[in-house]
Amino acid sequence: MNATTRFCARIVGTGMYVPEKVLTNADLEKRIDTSDEWIRTRTGISERRIASKEESSSVLGLHAARAALKDAGLEASEVDMIIVCTSTPDVLFPATACFVQRELRASRAAAYDVSAVCSGFVYGLSIAEQYLKSGRYRHILVIGAEVNSRIVDWDDRSTCILFGDGAGAVVLRREEVAEPVGVLSTHIYSDGSLSELIHVPGGIGLNGFSGGAIDPKQYCIHMMGNQTFKVAVKRMSEVCREALAFNGMEVDAVSLVVPHQANQRIIDAVTEKLAIPAGKVYVNIHKYGNTSAASIPIALCEAREAGRIGEGDLVLLSVVGAGLTWGAALLRW
Ligand code: UT7
């Protein structure tokens, strides 16, 4: 590296995978007291994908990772680190990332999971950014993979309509350039005092498995939808403004916003607050619902494939998730 160049962390490959099985709003109408009209107008969701019995987060993540590696033209043996962002890991341990590493035969990669729920991908991206910009590693695979259908309470109409399964992945490469490209900055936050807004109360560390019968509902998503909605809009717009200001950029410079796909009305409220026209926002929530940590990398992959992201474009990612966690990333493609 000479005096005029610096290390950048650039996305050079994207990939995604969603299970074949589609669960439509009409299907849900048969199981719970809801309607297609309510779900579409309150959330923007028409259908979501549901993993088969054999499809765990590592299986979905593996498909997405292979697609991202192919897109990047990279061999798995060249990957230095695999980060799987998930809140539905295959097992308590080892990390889901280790199963992906095994299947890819990524022989020299470190592998671990990041648990930041829906914010996971932006958290993972932030970690990769640091390793690449410091010069420590050259190639990092960041995967968001979820089987939310396994932790959804199918009797709870306020949550089961929202979530879906899927995986998205990106390959990041360290490059030496004069002008900053790739991940310009990431901004991640948390507020644990809001942990009960969205949570899965069951687990192992707090209660163990020795205290008698297990209540399956404790292993499902509990959510205070309304309160979450309000905090989501506030935090996502705040952190988007921060990302732009940090890089000395105005909203007008943004080519495409790729927001976390939790609720169409949240996306609309955030982009309205930021005065970003709807045409500059990538939305696929109607097809997949909220796929948690997989939501942004799936959307990124689709946006690229649809020609919505080109070289030199300024792309803004933003997210909020359980924890509470939130974050944003600004990318120069
Ligand atoms: O990834 C980040 C985490 N999650 C989120 O960001 C989710 C944020 N929250 C939301 O997306 C929304 O709050 C929901 C979609 C979950 C709910 O929408 P809402 O407009 O906030 O509805 P609400 O909870 O205020 O409920 C309004 C009414 C209630 O009936 P009453 O009490 O007014 O008679 C609910 O029982 O809608 C009812 N309702 C439903 N009705 C038909 C709740 N769920 C349903 C449903 N079908 N599926």
Which H or E element spans position 69?
A: helix 57-72
List of the chain residues with pLDDT < 70: 1-3, 210-212
How many helices (H) and strands (E) are present in the chain, helices listed first?
9, 13
Tally the residues of the chain: 333
Other beta carbons less than 10 A from residue 45's beta carbon = 26
* pLDDT at residue 205, as a whole number: 81
State which CATH number among 3.40.47.10, 3.30.2350.10, 3.90.180.10, 3.30.1330.50 fits the domain covering 182-332. 3.40.47.10
C-beta 161 within 6 A of ligand 1: yes
Nearest CA-CA partner of 12 in 122, 127, 143, 173: 173
Q: What is the reported pLDDT for 210?
A: 65
Comma-separated ranges of CATH 3.40.47.10 domains in the chain = 6-177, 182-332
Closest ligand 1 atom, residue 290 Cα: 1
**How much distance in Å is there from the Cα of 163 to the middle of ligand 1?**
13
Tokens of 41: 């107008």
Q: What is the pLDDT of residue 308?
A: 97
Contact 47, 21 (CB under 8 A): no
**Distance from C-alpha of 142 to C-alpha of 114, rounded to nearest angstrom:** 10
22 by DSSP, 3-state: which?
strand
- Residue 203's pLDDT is 83
- 6-177 adopts what CATH topology? Peroxisomal Thiolase; Chain A, domain 1 (3.40.47)
Distance 39 CA to ligand 1 centre (A): 9
Structure tokens at 69: 């590696």
Q: What is the pLDDT of residues 35-48, one digit of tens each?
A: 999 999 999 999 99
Contact indicator for 90, 57 with CB cutoff of 8 Å: yes
How far does Cα 93 stand from its chain's mean position?
21
158 C-alpha vs ligand 1 centroid, how far in Å?
A: 5
pTM of the predicted protein model:
0.97
286 pocket-lining for ligand 1 (C-beta < 6 Å)? no
Distances (CA, A) of 237 to 50, 130, 296, 326: 30, 24, 16, 10
Q: What is the Cα 240 distance to its own chain's centre? A: 16
To the query of whether residue 226 is one of the catalytic residues in this protein, the response is no
Predicted confidence at residue 1, as pLDDT, reads 63
Provide the 3-class DSSP secondary structure of residue 315. strand
129-134: Cβ within 8 A, 24+ apart = 129/9, 129/172, 129/183, 129/186, 131/80, 131/81, 132/7, 132/8, 132/9, 132/172, 132/173, 132/174, 133/6, 133/7, 133/8, 133/9, 133/174, 134/7
Which whole-number Å values give the CA distances from 184 to 3, 87, 139, 209, 246, in the listed order? 19, 27, 17, 45, 9
CB of 118 closer than 6 A to ligand 1?
A: yes
Paired strand residues for 199: 222
284: annotated active-site residue? no
Catalytic residue chosen out of the listed positions 260, 263, 284, 301: 260
